[in-house]
C-alpha cells in the first residue's frame, strides 16, 4: 500500500500519494545482456584479495566495527556533529501534516534536484492547491522520506490540475562579475621537507 503524504495549505489538509518520476518512466530503458561462446549468460563476480578466488553476487557484505575490530550494530551508533554534540534525528514527513510556505523562484532555481514526484490526489481533490500553483505560486516545506539526520528541501510546483514535488538541496552559489576576482578559501600551506617523504614507496 502506498504511503500517504499530508500537505497543509491555509489550514486545509490534502492527503496525496507521491509517485516517483524517473528517466525510465519517461524515456524507457535498455538492458544489455552478455553471453559467453556457449550461449550461457555472463555473471558478475568479485575477485578476492588472494587473486584466485571468485565470489558470487551476494557473497560480500559491509560491516561496522569499532577501533578494536568488534562488530557494532548500526542501531547503537549515535550521530554527532564536528563539535561532538549529538545530532537530533528528524522524523519522516509521512508522520504528520506538512505546512506549505510560499517560496521565491530564485530559491527553487538554486535547487540541486535529487528526486521528482507526481502528487496524486487522495480522497480530497487538490483544486485549492492546483489553483494557487497555476497562478504561478511555488510552495516549499522540509521533507524527509524515512527520517534521518536532516531534511531535504521540497518544492511544490504545478500547472493546470497537475502538481509535482521536487526534492533536493539548495546550492550555495556565489556569483562573480566580469571584473571581479573570485575569493577562494585560504588554506595554510605547509612546508614539506625531505624527511617527511618516504622514498621506500616510490
17: enclosing H helix or E strand: strand 12-20
- Helix, strand counts (H, E) of the chain: 3, 10
Q: Per DSSP, what are the bridge partners of residue 71?
A: 65
**With bands split at pLDDT 50, 70 and 90, how would you rate the model's confidence at 91?**
very high
* Rounded distance between C-alpha atoms, residue 144 and residue 149, angstroms: 9
Q: Is 23 helix (H, G, I), strand (E, B) or coil?
A: helix
Percent of the chain with pLDDT over 90: 38
Exposure of 175 in the CB half-sphere (CA atoms within 13 A): 2
The pLDDT, as a whole number, for residue 11 is: 87
The residue ranking higher by pLDDT, 161 or 192, is 161
The residue ranking higher by pLDDT, 187 or 19, is 19
The pLDDT, as a whole number, for residue 119 is: 94
pLDDT digits (tens, 9 = 90+) for 101-135: 999 999 999 999 999 999 998 777 888 899 999 99
Rg of the chain taking only CA atoms, in angstroms = 25
Q: Is the pLDDT of residue 188 over 60?
A: no
- What's this model's pTM, rounded to 2 decimal places? 0.69
Q: Do 43 and 57 contact (CB within 8 A), yes or no?
A: yes
Phi and psi for 98 in degrees, rounded to 5? Answer: -115, 115
**With bands split at pLDDT 50, 70 and 90, how would you rate the model's confidence at 80?**
confident
Cell of 76: 547503537
The mean pLDDT value for 16-23 works out to 90
Q: Is the pLDDT of residue 198 over 60?
A: no
CA distances from 99 to 13, 46, 122 (A): 9, 48, 17
The mean pLDDT value for 42-46 works out to 86
The pLDDT, as a whole number, for residue 57 is: 82
Amino acid at each position: 500500500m502506498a504511503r500517504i503524504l499530508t500537505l497543509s495549505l491555509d489550514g486545509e489538509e490534502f492527503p496525496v500519494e507521491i509517485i516517483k518520476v524517473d528517466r525510465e518512466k519517461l524515456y524507457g530503458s535498455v538492458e544489455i545482456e552478455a553471453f559467453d561462446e556457449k550461449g550461457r549468460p555472463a555473471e558478475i563476480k568479485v575477485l578476492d584479495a588472494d587473486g584466485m578466488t571468485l565470489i558470487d553476487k551476494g557473497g560480500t557484505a559491509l560491516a561496522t566495527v569499532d577501533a578494536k575490530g568488534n562488530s557494532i550494530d548500526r542501531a547503537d551508533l549515535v550521530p554527532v556533529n564536528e563539535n561532538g554534540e549529538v545530532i537530533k534525528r528528524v522524523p519522516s514527513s509521512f508522520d504528520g501534516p506538512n505546512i506549505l510556505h510560499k517560496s521565491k523562484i530564485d530559491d527553487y532555481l538554486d535547487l540541486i534536484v535529487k528526486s521528482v514526484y507526481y502528487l496524486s490526489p487522495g480522497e480530497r481533490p487538490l483544486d485549492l492547491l492546483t489553483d494557487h500553483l497555476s497562478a504561478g505560486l511555488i510552495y516549499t516545506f522540509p521533507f524527509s522520506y524515512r527520517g534521518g539526520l536532516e531534511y531535504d528541501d521540497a518544492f511544490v510546483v504545478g500547472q493546470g490540475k497537475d502538481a509535482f514535488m521536487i526534492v533536493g538541496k539548495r546550492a550555495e552559489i556565489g556569483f562573480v562579475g566580469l571584473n571581479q576576482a573570485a575569493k577562494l578559501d585560504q588554506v595554510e600551506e605547509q612546508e614539506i621537507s625531505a624527511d617527511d617523504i618516504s622514498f621506500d614507496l616510490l
